[in-house]
DNA sequence: CTGAAAGCGCTTACAG
DNA sequence: CTGAAAGCGCTTACAG
């Protein structure tokens, strides 16, 4: 055996072996061709059950790990799924991502997480950069994007699932709920509690915040109580501090307001803390409602009434849907409405 | 031109072109060989400035995007950096990640984000799976990992930067601060305020929480005030609700406690809310301190005294350090201490 | 149901 | 400073 060494150098020098256990090694060990080994491992078409077992055993024994790069190059499809969310600082999207990962990872897919900061230009750059990695699929938040971003997605022909919103469009896959209906439901709840001067406070002003506003408007108009001066829209990033600031400013300007519907729980928590600071009674003087049921909302004084949004369910369902699309399944439902839940606590 | 079609099919049928603009196209357009084009684009070794410009122009003109899979396969090094954090539900790590991404993305690297849930077995699985992608580098949180996780990292020979903690070990790269010293500083602050019965409340009990505990112990022992029954350690996940629960339980058991040092701000916020609910005066009856300066801490009643941890700086610095290591730079500083800041507010 | 050949798009290792 | 050849580790497209 040691006799080989002196003769081989020239050949050896040419090689660039990475020391990796390769599919060829597995095939040799199993006594089949590399193609068969490849097919057996991927459970592709018919390969005799006996062979599949033999190949799997060989792979196991050698500690074979398929090379994603080689696979991607040969098949022009990687094991990556690009997942784009607006923010990681909103717990909502973290919960969504965790659920997505919990479905995708066991299925052999890696998530490439992109944070768009609610900026369509940033999203487009991310899309462009991630597309170069030939992802196997896409998960995108909502439907708001730039023209060319849209084209990138459409032109790629890649399976794509949109999350958080729903859409009747048949050419689009989505998992979410009607933000507008949820906004309507919360406003109705406040009206049913006897509130008349109900304000809506929105920040960030992304599409979903505006859809909730639509629901609020509809409920207020139906009740004949709509007053445009009670719509407070601030483009700044949603936060506890901003909620406190807007709560104080709104009540200074409109002392007769008897309920505030904040578009997100962090704002509402800030509002509740401001009320404590200012000695304003909640809900006696003013009722406070939020959206999303974020951490801490149930601990506030008083506990915050809000809309619980099933983001974990959305993430898991979207990932499963994407898996089905990537498998090439036909008649996958396009539009999945997972609903929402009104959670009434002490603040209203 | 249309005359070609009838003759070519057999050859065409063999091809599997993806329609992508390839390096060969760029090389042809620039009138150089693919190798030269490759080197020019990567700014590898000497390629005439004139040629570099010509190649770049050609690439630009054709809209060339390098194929990461092909690059990874040929060089056995991808453009991925694996970044492992314990949790995304702690804002701390989100801030860290954002900073890492903001440095890595412009440099052409993608982050593969892995969430370990403070579980060394989960971390090991992630490591194993990410290693298959031949990442160009690693960013890991802390030093606590399984034997085989350790071996995976060490054996790979990959550049690796550890974040959040520091270590004098010369073979290890890290960016962080001394958690123990920070814990010591906060405890001293409470003692200087005249507090004598200072409790430490920790949850999760990961390495850093225990290091802060060490600092607390040291300060208490030096002051001759250490009392082991005032160390409250709960393995459950840190949260606002848990902080409220532990605050109430601790004061019920030890009514003489005059200060509580929570290992994280979410716990402390919960403690503050519980105090409000129970009518316990903060800081008069009991002072409350937290750690990390998370969102909302400055909005609490009273505002929370805490330790501001420069996680954005840590993330950015770690990413730059990794970039230097991946470039093969020598004498990169091993151990970067970015410090921390005691933020004294109304709660102490 | 299985396999020999070619190719995916790059870079490494040698030469010149 | 530039290039022709080979190879990275897989899978696709054809055959049988």
Residues A115-142: tens digit of each pLDDT? 999 999 999 999 988 888 889 999 999 9
Token couple for B119:
């579980």
- Considering only CB atoms, which chain A residues are within 8 Å of B277? 301
Across the interface, whether the CB atoms of B270 and A18 are under 8 A apart is answered: no
Q: Is the dihedral of CA A206, A207, A208, A212 positive or negative?
A: positive
> What percent of chain A lies above the pLDDT cut of 70?
94
Across the interface, whether the CB atoms of B68 and A240 are under 8 A apart is answered: no
Q: Which B residues, 11 through 40, put their C-beta within 8 Å of a C-beta on chain A?
A: 16, 18
B162-187 per-position pLDDT tens digit: 999 999 898 899 999 999 999 999 99
* B41 in contact with A, Cβ within 8 Å: no
Question: From the CA of A59, how many Å to the nearest CA of chain B?
Answer: 15
Question: Is the pLDDT reported for residue B134 higher than 90?
Answer: no
Cα dist from A95 to A84, A85, A268, whole Å: 14, 11, 20
Asked if A277 and B301 count as a contact pair (C-beta separation under 8 A), the reply is: yes
Q: Which helix (H) or strand (E) holds B83?
A: strand B80-85
CATH topology assigned to domain B78-177+312-339: Rossmann fold (3.40.50)
Question: Is the pLDDT reported for residue B127 higher than 80?
Answer: yes
- A214-CA/D4-C1' distance, Å: 66
Question: Is the pLDDT reported for residue A14 higher than 80?
Answer: no
Q: Which residues pair with B113 in a beta bridge?
A: B83
How far is the C-alpha of A118 from the C-alpha of A272, rounded, in Å?
26
How far is the C-alpha of A51 from the C-alpha of A53, rounded, in Å?
5
Asked if B140 and B162 count as a contact pair (C-beta separation under 8 A), the reply is: yes
Q: Which A residues, 133 through 152, put their C-beta within 8 Å of a C-beta on chain B?
A: 133-134
What pLDDT, on the 0 to 100 scale, is given for residue A118? 96
Is the fold of A10-66 the same as that of A179-308? no
Query: In terms of pLDDT, which residue wins out, B67 or A164?
Result: A164
Asked if B311 and B341 count as a contact pair (C-beta separation under 8 A), the reply is: no
Question: Is the pLDDT reported for residue A278 higher than 90?
Answer: yes
What pLDDT, on the 0 to 100 scale, is given for residue B16? 60
Give the number of beta-carbon pairs within 8 Å between A and B. Answer: 114
Place B252 in a pLDDT band, splitting at 50, 70 and 90. very high
First to last CA, chain A: 83
Place A282 in a pLDDT band, splitting at 50, 70 and 90. very high
Q: List CB contacts of B165: < 8 A, sequence separation 6 or more.
A: B142, B143, B174, B176, B177, B178, B179, B207, B208, B211
What pLDDT, on the 0 to 100 scale, is given for residue A323? 95
A283-298 per-position pLDDT tens digit: 999 999 999 999 999 9
Asked if B244 and A299 count as a contact pair (C-beta separation under 8 A), the reply is: yes
Across the interface, whether the CB atoms of A115 and B101 are under 8 A apart is answered: yes
What pLDDT, on the 0 to 100 scale, is given for residue A134? 85
What pLDDT, on the 0 to 100 scale, is given for residue B168? 87
Q: What is the pTM of this model?
A: 0.90
Helix-then-strand count for chain B, H and E? 14, 12
Token couple for B60:
């630009």
B102-116 per-position pLDDT tens digit: 999 989 899 999 999
Q: CA nearest B294: which of B272, B311, B280?
A: B311
User: Which CATH class name applies to A10-66?
Assistant: mainly alpha
Question: Is the pLDDT reported for residue B44 higher than 80?
Answer: no
What pLDDT, on the 0 to 100 scale, is given for residue A13? 42
Q: Which residues pair with A47 in a beta bridge?
A: none
Q: Which residues pair with A138 in a beta bridge?
A: A82, A160
How far is the C-alpha of A228 from the C-alpha of A145, rounded, in Å?
28
Calculate Rg over the CA atoms of chain B.
27
Q: Which helix (H) or strand (E) holds B217?
A: helix B207-222
Token couple for B122:
């989960």
Across the interface, whether the CB atoms of A69 and B65 are under 8 A apart is answered: no
Q: List CB contacts of B280: < 8 A, sequence separation 6 or more.
A: B251, B274, B286
- Considering only CB atoms, which chain B residues are within 8 Å of A72? 69
How far is the C-alpha of B165 from the C-alpha of B149, rounded, in Å?
18
How far is the C-alpha of B75 from the C-alpha of A345, rounded, in Å?
58
Domain ranges in chain A are 10-66, 78-177+312-339, 179-308
- Considering only CB atoms, which chain B residues are within 8 Å of A157? none
Mean model confidence pLDDT for chain A: 91
Q: Which B residues, 271 through 300, put their C-beta within 8 Å of a C-beta on chain A?
A: 273, 276-277, 295-296, 298-300
* Strand B259-262 relative to strand B231-234, pairing: unpaired
List the single protein residue with the shortest CA to C1' distance from C4: A33
Question: How many other β-carbons are positioned within 10 Å of the β-carbon of residue A236?
Answer: 12
Across the interface, whether the CB atoms of B88 and A98 are under 8 A apart is answered: yes
How far is the C-alpha of B253 from the C-alpha of B230, rounded, in Å?
10
How far is the C-alpha of B198 from the C-alpha of B286, rounded, in Å?
9
Q: Is the dihedral of CA A259, A261, A264, A265 positive or negative?
A: positive
Question: Is the pLDDT reported for residue B17 higher than 80?
Answer: no
Q: Estimate the share of chain B in helix, then strand, then coil, as percent rounded to the nearest 5.
A: 45, 15, 35
Q: Which of B110, B136, B269, B275 should we substitute to test contact with A (largest number of A Cβ atoms within 10 Å)?
A: B110
Q: List CB contacts of A331: < 8 A, sequence separation 6 or more.
A: none
CATH architecture of A179-308: 3-Layer(aba) Sandwich (3.40)
What pLDDT, on the 0 to 100 scale, is given for residue A45? 67
What pLDDT, on the 0 to 100 scale, is given for residue B15? 54
How far is the C-alpha of B127 from the C-alpha of B138, rounded, in Å?
9
* B205 in contact with A, Cβ within 8 Å: no
Asked if B47 and B4 count as a contact pair (C-beta separation under 8 A), the reply is: no
Helix-then-strand count for chain A, H and E? 13, 12
Q: Within chain A, where are the H helices?
A: 9-14, 23-30, 34-42, 49-62, 68-75, 91-104, 120-131, 147-156, 179-192, 207-222, 240-253, 265-278, 311-326
Across the interface, whether the CB atoms of B98 and A113 are under 8 A apart is answered: no
Token couple for A329:
């399944």
Instruction: List the single range of A89-98, A104-113, A289-298, B84-93 with lowest mean pLDDT.
Output: A104-113
Question: Is the pLDDT reported for residue B87 higher than 60?
Answer: yes
Q: List CB contacts of A193: < 8 A, sequence separation 6 or more.
A: A259, A283, A287, A348
Residue with token string 């370990």: B116
> What percent of chain B lies above the pLDDT cut of 70?
94
Nucleotide nearest to A68 (CA to C1'): D10
Nucleotides of D under 7 A from a protein CB: 1-14
- A35-CA/D5-C1' distance, Å: 26
- Considering only CB atoms, which chain B residues are within 8 Å of A296? 240-241, 266, 269-270, 273, 296
Question: Is the pLDDT reported for residue B21 higher than 90?
Answer: no
Nucleotide nearest to B132 (CA to C1'): D9
């Amino acid at each position: 055996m040691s006799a080989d060494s002196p003769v081989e150098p020239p050949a050896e020098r040419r090689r660039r072996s990475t020391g990796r256990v390769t599919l060829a090694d597995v095939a040799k060990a199993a006594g089949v061709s590399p193609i068969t080994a490849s097919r057996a491992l991927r459970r592709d078409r018919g390969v005799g059950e006996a062979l599949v077992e033999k190949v799997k055993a060989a792979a196991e024994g050698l500690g074979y790990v398929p090379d994603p790069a080689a696979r991607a190059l040969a098949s022009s499809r990687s094991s990556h799924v690009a997942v784009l969310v607006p923010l990681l600082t909103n717990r909502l999207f973290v919960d969504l991502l965790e659920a997505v990962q919990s479905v995708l990872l066991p299925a052999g897919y890696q998530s490439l997480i992109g944070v768009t900061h609610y900026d369509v230009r940033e999203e487009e750059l991310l899309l462009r950069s991630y597309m170069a990695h030939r992802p196997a699929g896409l998960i995108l938040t909502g439907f708001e994007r730039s023209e060319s971003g849209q084209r990138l997605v459409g032109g790629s022909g890649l399976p794509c699932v949109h999350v958080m919103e729903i859409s009747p469009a048949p050419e689009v896959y989505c998992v979410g709920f009607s933000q507008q209906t949820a906004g309507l439901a919360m406003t109705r709840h406040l009206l049913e509690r006897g509130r008349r001067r109900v304000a809506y406070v929105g920040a960030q002003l992304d599409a979903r915040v505006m859809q909730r506003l639509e629901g609020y408007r509809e409920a207020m108009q139906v009740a004949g109580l709509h007053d445009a001066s009670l719509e407070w829209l601030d483009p700044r990033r949603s936060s506890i501090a901003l909620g406190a600031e807007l709560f104080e400013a709104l009540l200074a300007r409109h002392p007769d307001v008897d309920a505030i519907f904040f578009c997100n729980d962090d704002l509402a928590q800030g509002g509740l803390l401001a009320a404590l600071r200012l000695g304003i009674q909640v809900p006696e003087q003013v009722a406070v409602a939020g959206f999303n049921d974020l951490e801490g909302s149930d601990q506030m004084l008083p506990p915050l009434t809000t809309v619980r949004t099933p983001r974990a369910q959305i993430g898991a369902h979207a990932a499963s849907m994407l898996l089905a699309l990537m498998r090439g399944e036909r008649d996958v439902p396009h539009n999945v409405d997972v609903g929402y839940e009104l959670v009434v606590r002490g603040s209203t």
